[in-house]
Amino acid sequence: MVKQDCSSKVTVLFTLSFTPLSLPPSPLPSPPSSLPFLSSLPPQTLQELKHENQRMKDENSALIRVIGKLSRSPLPQSHT
């Protein structure tokens, strides 16, 4: 018969590291007036696209804030 000690704790720590990428500069996006297909869209569709674009910008900003906070916070200390 083998008796197992269930009172021992195992702590797993890991580190997230983010390395900035070196990307070539991208060309600036064209102004919306140079996108002729946008003017052919129904106003409702255009409004939905603008709303979705703003939602994704907000979500991206929130994710950047979370990543920034995680990269600044110290690793949790083990209390064994």
**pLDDT tens across the length of the chain (80 residues):** 444 455 555 555 556 566 666 767 767 665 556 677 777 889 899 899 999 999 999 999 999 999 999 888 776 676 66
Residue 46: other Cβ atoms inside 10 A: 14
**Domain count across the chain:** 1
Domain span including residue 54: 39-71
Residue 22 in domain: no
How would you write 3-33 as a 3-class SS string? CCCCCCCCCCCCCCCCCCCCCCCCCCCCCHH
Residue 17 in domain: no
Residue 5 in domain: no
pTM for this entry: 0.46
Q: What share of the chain is helix, strand, coil (3-state, %, to 5)?
A: 45, 0, 55
- Region of 10 (left: φ > 0; alpha: ψ -120 to 50; beta: rest) is beta
Residue 78 in domain: no
Residue 18 in domain: no
Residue 80 in domain: no
Residue 4 in domain: no
Residue 56 in domain: yes
